[in-house]
């Protein structure tokens, strides 16, 4: 592959001049510039990103650590990041961390070896301290979907407590009184926070949520089925199910339907995330919209900005709030209509 030297030789100029042309440097004569460009074209020259990164100490790349590419939630996340990467002309270095300490650690480590100064990481397995240390090393280190106070201005996160409250409040407003929760068995912050929001809101109406009314499983459709099966088996009475996410909601719904329980007339369900699935399952899922893509975009922009040395207003934080999307899986028990 042609190097800058080859171009210089053929064009009859020095390395420096070629470099200037490549980088649209200022002090080059028009004639020379054209000639060099022509030679580059002819030789199919492509600047060596590695050499460049080495000397400039800038990698023109954005590191991304997410849990799992298959999950539509993360796919959306990745998609949002990709959009800004493309816009800002940086290459994405992608690693899946699978919510495992060692894997997440290794993913970040590899990114560090590549010396990428901007990275948006979704980490649930690593502890605060570790993450804060990384943040200290990498100027453009941004956390998504997690809040750590010490680096609060580098966190783009969702208010899960508020989310839990909104779910409960909506069901309450529709006249529901008997609740059941289908949650994620992974002991990360999210399910805990959502649950606490739910409890907080229910408490305002003097409703308790006993442990037996909560079932924990994997946060996917199968997990939703299993959780619902267990709830049914336990003979608990309920008219409202609050799911950890849309996938679990859909699974739970499927199982209910298989048992001839009608949704929403017999039982109402509300999901969380508002991924595509929510719109296409039957009945369509009432859920909380998680503005992942917007958040991903913000996170990527932020990471790149910090890496560039820009200092965004340090007083602002990037907290997002999920919003209710009413579709067809929740019935109004006052009016007897689905809302």
**CA–CA separation, 228 and 246 (whole Å):** 14
Structure tokens at 133: 């240390």
| C-beta neighbour count of 185 within 10 angstroms | 14
**CA–CA separation, 14 and 5 (whole Å):** 8
Q: Of 45 and 179, which CB lies nearer to DNA in the complex structure?
A: 45
For the bound state, the minimum distance from the C-beta of residue 336 to its own copies, rounded and expressed in Å, comes to 23
Name which of its own copies, DNA, none residue 26 binds, using a CB cut-off of 5 to 8 Å depending on partner kind.
DNA
Q: Of 49 and 136, which CB lies nearer to DNA in the complex structure?
A: 49
214 in Cβ contact with 242 (< 8 Å):
no
For the bound state, the minimum distance from the C-beta of residue 296 to its own copies, rounded and expressed in Å, comes to 11
Structure tokens at 287: 């859920």
Binding pattern for the stretch 18-57 against DNA, x by CB under 7 A and - elsewhere:
-xx-xx--xxxx-xxx-----------xxxx--xx-xxxx
Does 112 help bind DNA (rule: CB under 7 A)? no
Alpha helices, DSSP H only, in 23-140? 30-43, 49-56, 72-87, 101-113, 128-137
**CA–CA separation, 186 and 320 (whole Å):** 22
For the bound state, the minimum distance from the C-beta of residue 76 to its own copies, rounded and expressed in Å, comes to 6
Q: Of 14 and 212, which CB lies nearer to DNA in the complex structure?
A: 14
Q: Of 56 and 89, which CB lies nearer to DNA in the complex structure?
A: 56
298 in Cβ contact with 156 (< 8 Å):
yes
Name which of its own copies, DNA, none residue 4 binds, using a CB cut-off of 5 to 8 Å depending on partner kind.
DNA
Name which of its own copies, DNA, none residue 69 binds, using a CB cut-off of 5 to 8 Å depending on partner kind.
its own copies
Name which of DNA, its own copies, none residue 20 binds, using a CB cut-off of 5 to 8 Å depending on partner kind.
DNA
Alpha helices, DSSP H only, in the chain? 4-11, 15-22, 30-43, 49-56, 72-87, 101-113, 128-137, 160-173, 189-204, 221-233, 246-258, 276-280, 292-308
Does 231 help bind DNA (rule: CB under 7 A)? no
Does 216 help bind DNA (rule: CB under 7 A)? no
Query: Which residues of the shown chain bind its own copies in the complex (CB under 8 A)?
Result: 1, 46-51, 53-54, 59, 61, 64, 68-72, 75-76, 78-79, 82, 86, 91-96, 103, 109-115, 137, 221, 250-251, 254, 257, 276-277, 280-282
Q: Of 56 and 315, which CB lies nearer to DNA in the complex structure?
A: 56
Beta-strand relationship, 323-325 and 287-289: antiparallel
Name which of its own copies, DNA, none residue 12 binds, using a CB cut-off of 5 to 8 Å depending on partner kind.
DNA
Report the candidate in 268, 269, 287, 265 with the shortest Cα–Cα distance to residue 277: 287
For the bound state, the minimum distance from the C-beta of residue 99 to its own copies, rounded and expressed in Å, comes to 14
**CA–CA separation, 39 and 31 (whole Å):** 13
For the bound state, the minimum distance from the C-beta of residue 283 to its own copies, rounded and expressed in Å, comes to 10
Determine if residue 181 is left, alpha or beta; phi over 0 gives left, psi from -120 to 50 gives alpha, anything else beta.
Answer: beta
Residues that bind DNA (CB under 7 A): 1, 3-5, 12-17, 19-20, 22-23, 26-29, 31-33, 45-48, 51-52, 54-57
């Amino acid at each position: 592959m042609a190097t800058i030297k080859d171009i210089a030789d053929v064009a009859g100029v020095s390395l420096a001049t070629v470099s200037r042309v490549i980088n649209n440097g200022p002090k080059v004569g028009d004639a020379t510039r054209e000639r060099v460009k022509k030679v580059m074209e002819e030789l199919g020259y492509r600047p060596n990103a590695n050499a460049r990164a080495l000397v400039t100490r800038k990698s023109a790349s954005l590191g991304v650590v997410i849990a799992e590419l298959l999950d539509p939630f993360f796919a959306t996340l990745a998609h949002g990041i990709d959009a800004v990467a493309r816009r800002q002309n940086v290459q994405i270095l992608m690693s899946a961390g699978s919510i495992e300490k060692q894997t997440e650690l290794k993913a970040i480590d590899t990114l560090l070896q590549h010396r990428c100064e901007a990275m948006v990481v979704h980490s649930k397995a690593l502890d605060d301290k570790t993450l804060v240390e990384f943040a200290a090393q990498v100027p453009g280190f941004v956390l998504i979907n997690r809040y750590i106070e010490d680096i609060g201005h580098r966190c783009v996160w969702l208010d899960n407590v508020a989310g839990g409250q909104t779910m409960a409040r909506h069901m309450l407003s529709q006249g529901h009184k008997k609740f059941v929760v289908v949650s994620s068995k992974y002991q990360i912050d999210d399910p805990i926070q959502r649950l606490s929001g739910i409890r907080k809101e229910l408490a305002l109406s003097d409703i308790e949520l006993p442990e037996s009314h909560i079932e924990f499983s994997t946060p996917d459709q199968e997990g939703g089925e299993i959780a619902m099966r267990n709830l049914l088996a336990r003979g608990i009475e309920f008219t409202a199910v609050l799911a950890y996410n849309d996938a679990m909601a859909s699974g739970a719904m499927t199982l209910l339907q298989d048992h001839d329980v009608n949704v929403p007339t017999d039982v109402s369900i509300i999901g969380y995330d508002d991924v595509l699935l929510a719109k296409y399952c039957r009945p369509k899922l009432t859920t909380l919209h998680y503005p992942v893509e917007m958040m991903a975009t913000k996170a990527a922009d932020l990471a790149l900005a910090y890496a560039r040395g820009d200092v965004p207003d340090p007083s602002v934080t990037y907290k997002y709030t999920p919003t209710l999307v009413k579709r067809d899986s929740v019935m109004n028990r006052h009016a007897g209509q689905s809302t």
